[in-house]
Amino acid sequence: MTRRVRLIVFAAAAAAVGVLLVVTVVGMPPFGNAFHPYRDVAVAAAIAHQTANVVSGVNYDLRAFDTLGEETILLGSVVGAAVLLRPGREERERTEVPEDEPPLQAVRLVGYLLLPVTLVLGLDVVAHGHLTPGGGFQGGVVLGTGLHLLYLAGGFRALERLRAVPPFEVGEAVGTAAFVAVGIAGLAVTGSFLANVLPLGTFGSMPSSGIVPLLNVAVGMEVASGVILLLAHFLDQALRVERR
C-alpha cells in the first residue's frame, strides 16, 4: 500500500469514526450533569467499607478482580519485554560498562538530594493509598522511576551497585502472588475470591478499609519492581549489549 492510498483509507475511516463520535456525544447525557448512578452506588459501598479514597475503594475492593487482571497484564509485559530484549545469537553482553562522563555538579547535587525524598514520597503514596489520592500503581511508579535519579546523579555503575536485578524479579513475583494470596484468603474465609477478610477499622484512620491497604502494598511492590526491571532491560540494551 503506497502512502497516498494509506492516507486515503485513513481519511475515510477517520471520517466514519468522527461521525460516530458526534452521534454518540449528541446522544449522551449533558456534560457535567448530576446523573451518575455508578457514582452513587460506588461511593456508598466504599463508605460502608470505611474507605476514604473511593477510587482506591473501586480499584482494590469493588473491582479488585479486574485489578488482578490489570496487574497480570503488567507482569506479562515485563516478561515480554525481558524476552524481546535478551541478547540475540550474534550479540553478547559486556561485563564491564565503560564509565561515562560525570554529569554536571548541579545534576549530581539535585539527584542525590531528591533521591531519598522521592523514595519516601513513593512509600507514602503507597501507604496512604486508601486515605489520600494515590495507591499502589501511582506510588509504585514513583518508587521505580525515582530510583533512577541515582542513574542521573551517579551514572550506570552507581545504579548497578544499588540496583541488583534479581531481588526485583523476586519482588515482581511476590507482589503478584501476594495479591492472589489475599484473594484466596477471602475465598477460604468468606467463600468469595478477594472478599474482605480484615477488620474494617475506623474511617479516615491508617488501619481502615480492610484489605485495600494490603493490596495497595502488593501492587506497589509489583509495579515498582516491574518499572525497575523494564528500565533495567532497556538500559542493558543501550549500554551493555553489543554485536560480537
Touching other proteins, residues 212-231 (CB under 8 A): 230
| 19, 87, 187, 213 from 190: Cα distances, Å | 49, 47, 6, 19
Nearer to other proteins, 14 or 107 (CB): 14
Touching other proteins, residues 35-54 (CB under 8 A): 36, 38-40, 42-44, 46-47, 50, 52-54
**Grid coordinates of 163:** 540496583
**Grid coordinates of 93:** 553482553
Nearer to other proteins, 85 or 110 (CB): 85
- Residue 3 binds to other proteins (criterion: CB under 8 A): yes
d(CA 186, CA 194): 5
- Residue 126 binds to other proteins (criterion: CB under 8 A): no
**Nearest by Cα to 52 from 131, 127, 134:** 131
d(CA 68, CA 83): 22
Return the CA Rg of the chain: 23
Out of 12, 23, 65, 76, which residue is the one contacting other proteins (CB under 8 A)?
A: 76
- Residue 121 binds to other proteins (criterion: CB under 8 A): no
What is the CA angle 103-106-112, rounded to 5? 80
Site string for other proteins, 178-217 (x = CB under 8 A): ------------------------xxxx------------
Which region among 24-32, 119-127, 150-158, 170-178 touches other proteins (by CB under 8 A)?
24-32
Q: Which positions ≥6 away from 199 have C-beta within 8 Å?
A: 207, 210
Half-sphere exposure of 33 (CA within 13 A, CB side): 7
Question: What residues make contact with other proteins under the rule CB under 8 A?
Answer: 3, 6-7, 10, 14, 17-18, 21, 25, 28, 30-34, 36, 38-40, 42-44, 46-47, 50, 52-55, 57-59, 63, 66-67, 70, 73-74, 76-78, 80-81, 84-85, 88, 132-133, 135, 137-138, 202-205, 230, 233-234, 237
